[in-house]
Amino acid sequence: MPDWLMLPQSPMMDWVAVVIGLALLLLAGDSLVKGAVNMSLRLGVPALIVSLTIVAFGTSAPELLISVQAIWDGVPGLAMGNVVGSNTANVLLVLGIPAMLAVMHTSECDTRVSYLQMLGGTILFIVLAFRGKFDWISGLILLAALAAMLIHAARAANAHRKAGADEVDVDDLEGADPDLPWGKIILFLVLGLIGLPLGASLLVDGASNIARDYGISETVIGLTLVAIGTSLPELATTVMAALRKQADVVLGSVIGSNMFNLLGIMGVASLVGIIPVEQQFLTFDLWVMLGASLLLIPFVFFRQDLTRGWGILLAMLYAAYVFVVL
């Protein structure tokens, strides 16, 4: 990080750095998505393709930048913890809290194919973790799996459209504004491209210092503090979708986010540098992540609604997990 951006070193300022970094990441990520979506639509890229690629990758940009920055700063455990912790939080917290606010009729959703892909990606990730490290070989395998899933999704969506369904409505795309001037599009892109690396640098530096101050490993900070912070956009999305009775958006957001975390973010991060897998992941955290993913089976295959009771159970399980980790 440039010297002029360095905050004074103190425990309080480390927390300030984390908060500022997180805020920058969320705002810059949103700005980048808006700019990229509208630029793509202006250049004639179909809304369907934009929704499958640019929006999905753009909303994962904060997690990606954090993981890459953590590797550059020599704290790869934070990168690994961020991805694994985010996936666990996505199921238990990001689904649990909205369910406590409103019953979600997940029995009406058909997410079986996407869920099986996510489960397959989770198992692939765990198998690769037992190599003891994520390196360029692991990265290429994960990115190849992601590419296969994207191609399948594009073909399925195209077949669905040809069968008589309309293509994705531009108004349904996050940040889409057909009348947005080119000047604002460029401004959104510039703000996103500048804010993301600055926010990631502040967050990683602050989180690393907090870990040292409290005698906690960077891995634990990644599994808890950073993971919860980077899951806030998904939580905001699912809360609003739950209140609007859009159960498909809630379930789809969690499944899609988890796939991109494991295959896209870790795939790219593994190409940047070697990420060693600590024993804690192999004996506990990876299995908690898999167990959380399996908890979705009643809602995906057995037409169960996500009721308040389920929401309370999921949130309590997450609280118990954080307690054990800390």
User: Is pLDDT above 50 for 320?
Assistant: yes
> What's the half-sphere exposure (Cβ side, CA atoms, 13 Å) at 257?
33
Separation between Cα atoms, residue 23 and residue 21, nearest integer Å: 5
Tell me if 114 sits within 8 A of 107, measured CB to CB: no
**pLDDT number for residue 170:** 57
Q: Is 94 exposed, middle or buried (0-12, 13-18, 19+ CB in 10 A)?
A: buried
Separation between Cα atoms, residue 284 and residue 288, nearest integer Å: 6
Q: Where are the domains of the chain?
A: 3-325
Homologous superfamily of the 3-325 domain (CATH) = NCX, central ion-binding region (1.20.1420.30)
Q: Which residues contact 162 (CB under 8 A, 6 or more apart)?
A: none
- Which range (25-34, 79-88, 97-106, 208-217) has the least confidence? 25-34
| Token representation of residue 209 | 């210092």
pLDDT in tens, 145-164: 999 988 887 787 677 666 65
| Token representation of residue 303 | 């037409």
Mean pLDDT of 113-142: 95
